[in-house]
Structure 1
Amino acid sequence: MPRLLIPLALVVGTLWWWAVLKLALAPAASGPVEGAVAVGGWGLSLLPVHCTRQVITRASRLRRSGAESGPS
Structure 2
Amino acid sequence: MTGRIVRRGVALAVGALWWCSVLRLALVPGAGVLEGTIAAGGWGLSLLPVHCVPKSLAAGAVGSDRWGAYWREVWRRRGPRAGGDGEGPGPAPGMG
**Structures share fold, TM-score greater than 0.5:** yes
Secondary structure of the equivalent of 1:58?
coil
Residue 7 of structure 1 is matched in structure 2 by 9
Distance 2:48 2:32 in 1: 25
Q: Which residue of 2 aligns with 1:37?
A: 38
Structure 1 portions without partners, runs of 5+ = 60-72
Letter of the 1:6 partner, please give it.
Answer: R
> Counterparts in 2 of 1:29-68, with a 5 A limit?
29-52=30-53, 55-58=58-61
For 1:14, the aligned partner's letter is A
Runs of 4+ in structure 1 deviating by more than 4 angstroms, as ranges, are none
Q: Distance in 2 between matches of 1:23 and 1:4?
A: 29
* Number of aligned positions between the proteins: 58
Where relative contact order (Cα < 8 A, 6+ residues apart) is larger, the structure is 1
CA-atom RMSD in angstroms: 2.0
Separation in 2, partners of 1:8, 1:58: 33
Q: Deviations over 1:14-64 (max 9, x none)?
A: 0000000011112x3111110011001100111012214x624517xxxxx
Q: TM-score, normalised by structure 2?
A: 0.53
CA–CA distance in structure 1, aligned partners of residues 59 and 22 of structure 2: 31
Q: Which structure has the greater CA radius of gyration? A: 2
Percent of aligned pairs with the same residue? 49
The secondary structure found in structure 2 opposite 1:29 is coil
Once the two structures are TM-superposed, the CA of residue 3 in structure 1 deviates from its matched residue by 1.7
